[in-house]
Amino acid sequence: MKIYTNDDVSPDSLKGERIAIIGYGSQGRAHAQNLRDSGADVIVGVRKGGSGYDKATHDGLQTAEIKDAIADATIIAILTPDMSHAEIYKDIIEPFAPKGAALLFAHGFSVLYGRVVPRADMDVILVAPKGPGDLVRREYQRGRGVPSLFAVDRDVTGTAARKALGYARGIGGTVGGVIETTFREETETDLFGEQAVLCGGTTELVLMGFETLVEAGYRPEIAYFEVLHELKLIVDLLYEGGFAKMHSFVSETCKYGDLVSGPRIINSETRERMREVLKDIQDATFAREWILENQAGRPRYNSLMNTDLNHPIEKVGKDLRGRMSWLQNKANVDA
């Protein structure tokens, strides 16, 4: 497997390119600042007077309405939320983008599921950092980088890969290492990871653990510490050194419990449910449901979110975290 680093990508890869960053949320803000600091010609496309406009202006970036920002752009990076892509592309980018411009995404959802069908003259590329925008920015400022993925879905100009890798280098990705993928692979694995493990799987495991202990008569505060608070400690060890480092830092009793009880909780039935989740992603069932949910005003989404945020673990956690001084000075991260 080829991992692209600074040695593989010329620092002049973006020479002569004008990059329009559409949106100034978590990823947009990080990409725009990192590219600017890497010497790239960057303009941010945002609604004048909106929060993104205010932040971009405060950060010293050139800003304009989207139509004006893309007027002479050679790379147009759509970094707004997925459900906004279709309208932004159809109403502004498709009719006004220069011929031969590259359309860049940080997630392949809109292209894979046909929400955006780029004009025939446009390159279509993807650069996806494997971390939130705040981390992408912080690591860049430290002279490091977040590993990233890149993909070329369409190469009309013959320069699509150069642009994608140059962009990846500009945001710091080639310091962390960049791996080539496809729009399908990036999208399907990303959605699966979020749903089955990183967010959906983890939060449900935490809630069930909390409820099991509380139902058995244990105090909610103790349950919170055991199933949520300490989770970060374990995840940090896994992140830093895999199973080996985690096992080296926990007790022998913990290790034995891990080995014999883990498979009782996460078992063949869990794997079958994971396969069902993956199938719904692969055959676009999930995408269709999410698109229709948005078109209907997100009634199910809002109901489920309300249930999540009003679970007893949230009240207990808020009270306990309020006593943790080391958490109080952390700056909020843009969504």
Residue 14 resides in a domain: yes
Residues 215 and 145 in one domain: no
Cite the annotated binding site for Mg(2+) by residue number: 190, 194, 226, 230
Q: Is residue 274 part of a domain?
A: no
Q: State yes or no: is 229 an active-site residue.
A: no
The active-site residue, picked from 31, 58, 85, 107, is 107
Question: What is the reported pLDDT for 329?
Answer: 65
Residues 94 and 242 in one domain: no
Q: What value does the mean pLDDT of the chain take?
A: 95
Model pLDDT, residue 330: 59
- Quick: pLDDT tens for 7-32: 999 999 999 999 999 999 999 999 99
Confidence of residue 335 (pLDDT cuts 50, 70, 90): very low
> Binding site for NADP(+): which residues?
24-27, 47, 133
pLDDT, mean of residues 232-239? 95
Total count of domains within the chain:
2
**Alpha carbons 79 and 85: distance in angstroms, whole number:** 9
Nearest-5° Cα angle at 107, 102 to 108: 75
- pLDDT for 334 beyond 60: no
pLDDT above 70 covers what percent of the chain?
Answer: 98
Residue range of the domain that includes 72: 3-181
Taking phi over 0 as left and psi of -120 to 50 as alpha, with beta for the rest, 60 belongs to: left
Kindly state whether residues 164 and 211 are assigned to the same domain: no
pLDDT for residue 268 is more than 70 = yes
Does the pLDDT of residue 332 top 70, yes or no? no
Region 193-205: mean pLDDT is: 97
Q: Which pTM value belongs to this model?
A: 0.93
